[in-house]
Amino acid sequence: MARILVVGSVARDEVIRLGTPFHAGTHMQGEWLGERLGGGASNTGVALARAGHETVIVSATGNDRVGRELLAELTANGIDSSQIITVEGASTRSVVMIDPEGERTIVNLNRCQETKPPARLLNVAADSLYVRSWSPDLGPLLDAKMQSCRVIAHMPPCGDGVRPAHILVASQSDLEALMLNEPFEAGRRVAGNALEWVIVTRGENGATAYALDDHLSVPAPKVKAIDTTGAGDAFAAGLIHALVSGADMNQALTTACAWGAEATKWESSTLPIEAIKSLV
């Protein structure tokens, strides 16, 4: 299996299932489902670790009880947490509200961030690096890391040159019309000339991968969604798992769609071990 570096957030999700669809300005009934491990780096990293990969997360937690608990949970799930630093203040926390159709709405209560880009990632050998972060100042680090491993990065941010990468991944709902009209050309402005693919996910409609002179579309498996939290992160984990295992892009896209769809069938922010066993 591969050694994979994941850059992004580690969070505590506080989960409420709504009795009716979310609607602003109304009084709503909800059921408290408790707290669970969340955050983009956790969701993707834990899935990859459960699939057998050596997964290293680069992130930060606060010097509080939540931070200590998150580190313990990640370690228990097979994550190498040696590159997660502790900073002053509170750890990342989010309220996740899930409607009767399984669609989630996330409210960030606190974001724990480092004061400068995590240059330590340059010292960690990896077969692949995945970035799930909104930080706009990672460009120089990713540009350097591209010389030694495949870099896969999530958009946004979508500014010129902010995400040097071989592959970009984005949700259709996060992209402006201009990027959707010319995904690869727009992606090249974000990632540079080494870009190979731009992948646009479309929820229940699957995903499309765009190259300079080609594109591939794969449908999503039809499932009854219970909880869509972390589905995009599971998609990324499936994509990375397939690529580091030697799959071509068409195979990798099919695997990614399967992992993303599977994630919606579980009341969890991360793909459970039982789900991974059925996928791998």
Look at the alpha carbons of 213, 218, 166, 117 in this order and tell me if their dihedral is positive or negative: positive
Query: What is d(CA 92, CA 61) in angstroms, rounded to the nearest whole number?
Result: 7
pTM of the model: 0.95
The answer to whether 59 and 7 are in contact (CB under 8 A) is: yes
Q: What are phi and psi of 91, to 5 degrees?
A: -75, 165
Instruction: Specify the amino acid at residue 133.
Output: S
Domain assignment of residue 70, yes or no: yes
The answer to whether 31 and 113 are in contact (CB under 8 A) is: no
Helix, strand or coil for residue 256?
Answer: helix
Tokens of 276: 């991974």
Minimum mean pLDDT range among 48-62, 167-181, 202-216: 167-181
The answer to whether 159 and 138 are in contact (CB under 8 A) is: no
Question: How confident is the model over 178-234, as pLDDT tens digits?
Answer: 688 899 999 999 999 999 999 999 988 999 999 999 999 999 999 999 999 999 999
Mean pLDDT of the 113-122 span: 95
Domain assignment of residue 32, yes or no: no
Question: How confident is the model over 137-151, as pLDDT tens digits?
Answer: 999 999 999 999 999
* Percentage of the residues of the chain whose pLDDT score is greater than 70: 100
For residue 217, what are the β-bridge partners? 208
Rounded to the nearest 10 degrees, the angle between the axes of helix 231-244 and helix 40-50 is: 40
pLDDT at 178: 65
pLDDT at 175: 84
Domain assignment of residue 21, yes or no: no
pLDDT at 28: 87
The radius of gyration computed from the CA coordinates of the chain, to the nearest angstrom, equals 18
CATH number at residue 144: 3.40.1190.20
Domain assignment of residue 25, yes or no: no
Count of all residues that appear for the chain in the document = 280
Domain assignment of residue 22, yes or no: no
Angstrom CA distances, 252 to 46, 131, 238, stand at 19, 18, 7
Query: What is d(CA 253, CA 231) in angstroms, rounded to the nearest whole number?
Result: 14
Domain assignment of residue 102, yes or no: no
* Mean pLDDT of all residues belonging to the chain: 95
Domain assignment of residue 271, yes or no: yes
Q: Is 189 left (phi over 0), alpha (psi -120 to 50) or beta?
A: alpha
- Residue with token string 């896969």: 152
Domain assignment of residue 73, yes or no: yes
Mean pLDDT of the 8-20 span: 95
Give the range of the structural domain holding residue 69, as residue numbers without chain letter.
Answer: 3-10+39-92+111-279
Rounded to the nearest 10 degrees, the angle between the axes of helix 249-263 and helix 231-244 is: 150
Number of domains in the chain: 1
